[in-house]
Amino acid sequence: MSNKQKHLAALPLGGVGIIGTNMMVYDCDGDLIVVDAGISFPGENEPGTDVVMPDTRFLREHAKSIKGVFITHAHEDHIGGVGYMWDDFAGAPVYASPLSQMVINGKLQELGIQPKKGQLKTITTREQYQAGHFSVEYVPVSHSVPEAFALAIRTKYGTIVHTGDYKFDDAAPFGQVTDEVRLAEIGKEGVLAVFGDSTNVLNPNSTGSEAPVIEHLTKLLTEAKGRVFFAAFASHFGRTFEVAKVAAKQGRKVCFLGRTINKFIAHSKALGYWPKELNNWVIDAEEAAGLPAEKVFVFASGTQGEPASSLTRLSQGADVRGLKIRQGDTVIMSSKMIPGNEKGILAVINGFSLLNANIISEITDKKTHVSGHPGAPDVKRMYKLLNPTFVIPVHGEPSMFKGHADLARAEGYTPVMLKNGHKLVLAEPVQQPKDFIAEEGKDAKEAKQPKPFRPYITKHSYPYGFNYVDGLNILENDPLILKERRKLSYDGVVVAALAIRTTTGEWLGEISMTTRGLMDEVIQADILKEGVAKTTQALEAVFQNGRIDDRQRANEVIQQTLRRHFKHQRGKQPTCLVTFVDV
């Protein structure tokens, strides 16, 4: 992206084609703003890693042009990378709501990062934040975390609305509602393009309100005879507090298990989200363990089968700070399965079944949860308010993007698809209203309208990909290590070590060989022995004078011999590590 180029463009660094790692760069005449800095969690192809995030080389290469970072809301797929990428923002102001700011501060503290004074800016609505050639306004939307916002991004080329995650909740029992008045006003001003949430667009029905969920959970609580264990996304603490209030009214003391929910409780107290009705009802796990069953409500973290979470450990029959699932307990999972987590979640549900708890989840009861993302009718409702020229699907997988584009087209908007690592140019200064050009197939005189600018994708590809938090390090744009790990996990490893006299190249002694993850070396001792013999023979044939004067060649010979040997003996081609000991 040449900083000197005059245009309005968007470059996705994440969140396009996948759920998670949301990060969009907007470019107006060389000034850049960044919207969101999200992460996702590694899958089975990314073994050993802790966190996945966008490759930020583009940001580092254009550090001086970054005029602001705008966080839409406090979900990890939007905010989770702020700490890891802090240096990449190169001191640019980072805008966030009070809650998001608290979450960011927590992340910076954990990483030992001290933000520049004044770098973290608290937003309010109806305010225009200037960032280079951009002016950004936060518009409240309803979502499954408090303080979620769409962004109205004004430029001289026109206005972009970046919806962030949103839905409409016409009967919201708590939290903010989508500000349709303001969105309609922005729509009237004219919207060039919407970058819109695609997550739930394949659902033909409106997502619906949180109200019936709370109602249904209230019913489940009323019916529950024994202790109640309740699991929900920690960030959706509005729901948890509502349900906890119901429990308290029924005379149940309330216990919150989990680091994240307790962080959010601290934030909510500081920000006024904490319901005072709960003040005298909160107890710790040890106290809950001693109370009669009908007096206990426990929030347990871990809706996605996370191995270390309270809910998972409880489902395995573990004692979690004195609490242990008993027959007659009711467990309510008020959440959805995130694709890829199904097996782990099913294991949790099965665990509770084995313990004879009454487990209620979306498998048998869809009313325990509602999405925070718009279904097709909700997307239409949003676009009716904004009346955009272009609809650009973001936040989703290709099948969702296709559905989103089909919907936009059917409603009379022009869908435009993003491409990872490529810039989408939305407007250029050469294309002025005065440029009246004949439409195709029509006489020049007939043309009454300026030919609309057709957004295009640049041919040039910018750095794009994923970085991984891997223990204490970041694996940058380097999937080689992950490839090595996958290979190790499929076929194991064999090590061949040779001693060489440094001065002469003379090969001394025998080959020392060992394996891991390949076979049982005691039972298959013969196979290993035969591997040593074959390798020795192969080396002796090549290095007939007993001097290994070409280690690369020796390495190749050993690799080839052992690969063939284990393929033949075990149907496996292990990673073969050859090492020479200089004597």
Which residue lies nearer to its own copies by CB, 174 or 580? 580
Which residue lies nearer to its own copies by CB, 172 or 532? 532
Radius of gyration (Cα) for the chain, nearest Å? 29
CB of 398: closest distance to its own copies in angstroms? 4
Which residue lies nearer to its own copies by CB, 90 or 493? 493
Which residue lies nearer to its own copies by CB, 118 or 571? 571
User: Which residues lie below 8 Å from residue 408, measured CB to CB, with a gap of 6+?
Assistant: 383, 391, 393, 414, 415
CB of 250: closest distance to its own copies in angstroms? 25
Instruction: Tell me how far apart the alpha carbons of residues 291 and 310 are, in angstroms, rounded to a whole number.
Output: 19
Which residue lies nearer to its own copies by CB, 271 or 495? 495
CB of 538: closest distance to its own copies in angstroms? 18
**Residue 338 token pair:** 């995130």
CB of 467: closest distance to its own copies in angstroms? 13
Nearest Cα to Cα of residue 160 among 379, 301, 8, 330:
8
In the chain the first and final C-alpha atoms are separated, in Å, by: 54
Q: CA distances (Å), 251 to each of 241, 247, 255, in order?
A: 15, 7, 13
Mapped onto helix, strand or coil, the DSSP state of residue 343 is: helix
Which residue lies nearer to its own copies by CB, 62 or 313? 313
CB of 580: closest distance to its own copies in angstroms? 6
User: Which residues lie below 8 Å from residue 26, measured CB to CB, with a gap of 6+?
Assistant: 8, 9, 10, 11, 32, 33, 35, 134, 153, 160
> What residues are paired with 576 via a beta bridge?
494
Nearest Cα to Cα of residue 7 among 26, 36, 25, 28:
28
Which residue lies nearer to its own copies by CB, 19 or 153? 19
Q: Which amino acid is present at 281?
A: W
Which residue lies nearer to its own copies by CB, 132 or 403? 403
Q: Are 199 and 167 in contact (CB under 8 A)?
A: no
CB of 62: closest distance to its own copies in angstroms? 24
CB of 405: closest distance to its own copies in angstroms? 10
Instruction: Tell me how far apart the alpha carbons of residues 197 and 165 are, in angstroms, rounded to a whole number.
Output: 6
Burial class (CB in 10 A: 0-12, 13-18, 19+), 111: exposed
CB of 510: closest distance to its own copies in angstroms? 6
